[in-house]
Amino acid sequence: MKNKQRKWYLMLTIILIMTSMLAGCSSKSSNADRVEGEKKDEIVISVGAESEDGYDPCTGAGINLFFSGLLGFDKECNLTKDLASDYSVSQDGLTYTFILRDDVKFSDGTPVTAQDVVFTYNTTKESGSTVDLSFMKSVEAKDAKTIVFTLEKPYSVFLNVVAERGIVPEHAYGSEYSQKPIGSGPFILTQWDKGQQMILESNPYYYGTRSSFKKVTILFLDEDAVLAAVQSGQLDIAMINPQFSEQVPEGMKLVAIDTVDNRGINLPTIPESTDPEGKLIGNNVTSDLAIRKALNIGIDRQQIIDDALNGYGTPAYSVCDTQPWWNPETAVMDGRIEEACEILEEAGWIDTDGDGIREKNGMKAEFTVYGRTDDLQRYTLAVSLSNQAKALGINIKAEAIGWTEAKAQSMSTPTVFGFGSYSPIQIYFSFHSKNIGVGINNTASYHNPKVDEYIEKALYATNEEESMKYWKLAQWDGTTGLGANGDAPWLWIVNIQHLYLMNDHLDIGIQRVHPHGHGWPIVQNINEWAWRE
């Protein structure tokens, strides 16, 4: 009861704060009425959680609101030039040369130089961040506009790394930089009230399309508070969960955006043990290939999507469905309950006591799957999976716990994860044996020497055609692979659709397919958004 009271008190407080903050905009009640006759140059949005560590491309979070990189992505997710006016790659794949545009400045008015690029990449490499630059031998500024990267060995995804790395100004970089970032992106962070809101203003020095909005206020709200704020007319666009998709206020519309943002569950492939540090790893049930295969072909992905996500998503079979490096042969026909049961029985999993749960060597076919307390989608997916697994004689216990705790236990307890990017590098992080237990990489403890070989050939290829060939072979070569028809170290369920409630007058332009990002991908082109009468 106390938690409910606290939640409602928080919602009421937030709404009162927003009402006061926006009092100058209107006193009308509905979204439709509030904008009648107005031409807005300010918007209020809620599209995800704030970064606890701040915004710094050198150490982690570097959203494109504030930063831009040498390269970027176009509407079709193809690599395109951004800060760079041109670039070239040597035939041996070891040298990359970039030329900066002449018209680029940081938000403090200082020019972006080649030395800033050198500083950014060296600082990133030295920071020990989640960005792996171990393959980079050196980066040099040949002159004020020319940057040359030299790699230790070919690295086929280097251009993708470059496209996702914002550039920081060497002269303004310091210990407080992440809290007050200066970049060359379309917006400036002018105010940050931790846990409440960020206020952005258009960057007057931005070289690209300038925003038609002078001010953007981003509110950080929990799921229930977002819905209340939308219904009271205080938000122009808000990310929502599928459970709220039918609650569309007057003057707003529901927008569903396709993604490569998948949800899958790691299935530890080794029996339970402890690592050298005493941490529990492995799982005695999921380490049996029969369990993993039976789940992959026995569940009905579309039914889970309908039950858990109100139908907003498409079945997923890998970490990279529909991407150029995806091997479509990993798409298995699911819902084959009878065949899944045969696989289990042949492997010795039998319901001996009639309780509906199979056993093998005295061990029940049961395990826990963790969702997140702060992500309703992941928990409902786990619950729906649990319901379906009963038909296979597998008892899955769905549990929502804090994300920090879930990640810490994921090497032994299957957990609902979200991935999805514009780079095949995720295959390397999730499935190469070198990454077992590194952060949240390869939490399935998956090791297949042939798959490792394919991944390495893909990663160190000197041309795209060769790299694509080996990324696909790693997934399935006709005999082995990391897909559901191979070793099945993961149970991929859905590529979710990102859902937003949006004011009828707001035009968000053409959105490219969204990657994983908990709501934030929609701001990829926020400088192009407009208010239509």
pLDDT tens across 388-414, in order? 999 999 999 999 999 999 999 999 999
Pick left, alpha or beta for residue 163 (phi over 0 → left; psi -120 to 50 → alpha; otherwise beta): alpha
Instruction: Clarify whether residues 38 and 131 are in a common domain.
Output: no
Question: Looking up tokens 């394919």, which residue turns up?
Answer: 454
Taking alpha carbons only, the member of 175, 188, 253, 243 closest to residue 215 is 188
Distance between first and last Cα of the chain: 45
Q: Which residues pair with 217 in a beta bridge?
A: 44, 199
- Under 8 Å between Cβ of 110 and 141: no
483 in a structural domain: yes
Query: Per-residue confidence at 363, pLDDT binned at 50, 70, 90?
Result: very high
- The enclosing domain of 102 has a CATH number of 3.40.190.10
Q: What is the pLDDT of residues 263-316, one digit of tens each?
A: 999 999 999 999 988 999 999 999 999 999 999 999 999 999 999 999 999 999
Q: Is the dihedral of CA 403, 404, 405, 411 positive or negative?
A: positive
300 in a structural domain: yes
Residues spanned by the domain of 169: 71-176
- The enclosing domain of 350 has a CATH number of 3.10.105.10
Q: How far apart are CA 284 and CA 267, in angstroms?
A: 10
Instruction: Clarify whether residues 303 and 395 are in a common domain.
Output: yes
Instruction: Clarify whether residues 213 and 345 are in a common domain.
Output: no
Instruction: Clarify whether residues 323 and 410 are in a common domain.
Output: yes
Q: How many CB atoms lie within 10 A of CB 231?
A: 19
Stretch 198-206: mean pLDDT: 96
Instruction: Clarify whether residues 523 and 488 are in a common domain.
Output: no
Instruction: Clarify whether residues 124 and 194 are in a common domain.
Output: no
DSSP assignment of 158-209: HHHHHHT-----GGG-STTGGGS---SSSEEEEEEETTTEEEEEE-TT-SSP
- Under 8 Å between Cβ of 482 and 442: no
Instruction: Clarify whether residues 360 and 218 are in a common domain.
Output: no
pLDDT at 81: 97
Instruction: Clarify whether residues 492 and 433 are in a common domain.
Output: yes
Q: What is the pLDDT of residues 98-113, one digit of tens each?
A: 999 999 999 999 999 9
pLDDT at 39: 67
Instruction: Clarify whether residues 460 and 515 are in a common domain.
Output: no
Q: What is the pLDDT of residues 111-128, one digit of tens each?
A: 999 999 999 999 999 987
Average pLDDT of the residues of the chain: 91
Number of separate domains in the chain: 3
Taking alpha carbons only, the member of 432, 347, 346, 339 closest to residue 392 is 339
Question: Looking up tokens 């490499």, which residue turns up?
Answer: 125
Instruction: Clarify whether residues 421 and 354 are in a common domain.
Output: yes
- Under 8 Å between Cβ of 425 and 431: no
- Dihedral Cα 342, 346, 349, 354, nearest 10 deg: 60
Structure tokens at 106: 């940081």
Instruction: Clarify whether residues 266 and 251 are in a common domain.
Output: no
Query: Per-residue confidence at 192, pLDDT binned at 50, 70, 90?
Result: very high
Tally: H helices and E strands in the chain = 13, 25
Instruction: Clarify whether residues 330 and 404 are in a common domain.
Output: yes
pLDDT at 517: 86
